Amino acid sequence: MSISERKVCFVTGASGKLGSEIALALAGMGYSIFFTWHHAEEKAGMTLEKIRRVSPESQMVRCNISNVSEINQAFETFSSQFERIDLFLAGASNFYRTPLFEVTEKEWDSLLNTNLKGTFFTMQSAARIMLQQPFISRIITMTDISAGLVWRNYSPYTVSKSAVQHLTKIFARECAPKILVNSIAPGTISAYPDSSEEPENNLTEKIPLRRFGDPEDILVAIRFLMESEYITGQTINIDGGRTVY
Ligand SMILES: NC(=O)c1ccc[n+]([C@@H]2O[C@H](COP(=O)([O-])OP(=O)(O)OC[C@H]3O[C@@H](n4cnc5c(N)ncnc54)[C@H](OP(=O)(O)O)[C@@H]3O)[C@@H](O)[C@H]2O)c1
């Protein structure tokens, strides 16, 4: 297998708020980017345009990750255009309020099929490629501090993120030593460049460092994990100390 020299990141959910910032920053770090989007075509197109200013060969594809045949198609497209994966970043995810006694089957299936099933099958496809490569590569899953907390009104979401943290350990164990697999669990991240959201000050009282995170706080951890060669199966909470209470 001939391997091109330029490193490649495959990112799911780069049409998202944080996902787009991460993909853009990875492009700025010298990676070619292949990313997926689902509904947000305009945001995806704007993100690709920005990414291509620094990484012209980058590509995107529409993919509903809750559908395994769409995942397979996305990976076929990827493999026809790129020869390697250095980082697979599993960012695509659904998040909405679901009070415990009002959760419907449809909501449960939509949250679990995207956040857990979709993450599992995209990781499986990425790992199959990565295990064949003659170099160490990395998977980072995006979870949430709520995976380790008991949040009211978000049970399917928090269960899905908790399960993905467990999947992270399973893949770390099964894919060692070829693939380093870790998870990043953000607390509340705000201050997105395209957003008009105003942080709610009273919520920061629960955060020892007295502010919400911003995308750069997450990027610091991604850069760290990309350099590290002796960390696998771990979750890094990036939450200003929110989970210390
Ligand atoms: N931002 C935060 O404050 C925060 C906090 C904790 C954890 N996180 C985690 O960090 C990651 C990135 O967050 P974010 O802010 O970018 O999330 P976001 O703005 O909600 O974006 C979610 C992304 O997932 C994609 N997606 C949703 N359902 C999908 C499906 N069925 N198939 C394929 N793609 C699908 C969306 O695509 P379309 O928009 O194109 O449909 C979008 O790109 C997520 O895993 C999230 O849970 C974020």
Cβ-based neighbour number of residue 105 at 10 Å: 7
Tell me the H-state helices in 29-104: 41-54, 68-81
Average pLDDT, integer, range 15-32 = 97
Classify residue 165: in a domain, yes or no: yes
Q: Is residue 39 part of a domain?
A: yes
For 153, list phi and psi in degrees, rounded to 5: 75, 10
With a 6 Å cutoff on the Cβ, whether 94 touches ligand 1 is yes
- pLDDT averaged over the chain? 95
**pLDDT confidence of residue 191:** 72
| 192, pLDDT greater than 90 | no
Residue 233 covered by a domain: yes
pTM: 0.96
| Per annotation, catalytic residue among 157, 192, 230, 245 | 157
215 in contact with ligand 1, CB cutoff 6 A: no
Q: Tell me if 213 CB under 6 Å of ligand 1.
A: no
- Atom nearest to 21 CA in ligand 1: 16
Distance, in Å, from the CA atom of 118 to the CA atom of 176, rounded to the nearest integer, reads 22
* Residue 98 belongs to some domain of the structure: yes
Q: What is the pLDDT of residue 4?
A: 74
Does 68 have pLDDT greater than 60? yes
Domain that holds residue 108: 8-244
Atom of ligand 1 nearest to the CA of 14: 43
Is 63 close to ligand 1, i.e. is its CB under 6 Å away? yes
**1 in a structural domain:** no
Given this model, what pLDDT does residue 240 score? 97
**Percentage of the chain modeled with pLDDT above 90:** 91
Task: Find the mean pLDDT for residues 193-202.
Answer: 64
Query: Are the CB atoms for 130 and 88 separated by under 8 Å?
Result: yes
Q: Is 16 in the pocket of ligand 1 (CB under 6 A)?
A: yes
User: Any idea what the CATH number is for the domain that residue 149 is in?
Assistant: 3.40.50.720
State residue 199's pLDDT score: 58
Predicted local confidence at residue 245, as pLDDT: 73
Q: pLDDT tens digits for 139-159?
A: 999 999 999 999 999 999 999
Mean per-residue pLDDT for 177-193? 92
Q: Is 245 a catalytic residue?
A: no
Is residue 2 situated within a structural domain?
no
Residues whose CB is less than 8 angstroms from the CB of residue 48 and which lie 6 or more positions away in sequence, other chains included: 35, 58, 59, 60
Cross-sheet strand order for the sheet of 235-238 = 59-62, 32-37, 8-12, 87-90, 137-142, 179-186, 235-238
CA of 14 to the centre of ligand 1 (A): 8
Of ligand 1's listed atoms, the one at least distance from the Cα of 44 is 40
User: What does the pLDDT average to over 99-111?
Assistant: 98
Residue 169 lies in a domain: yes
Q: Which amino acid is at 40?
A: A
Q: How far apart are CA 218 and CA 176, in angstroms?
A: 24
Name the domain count of the chain: 1
pLDDT tens digits, residue range 113-138? 999 999 999 999 999 999 999 999 99
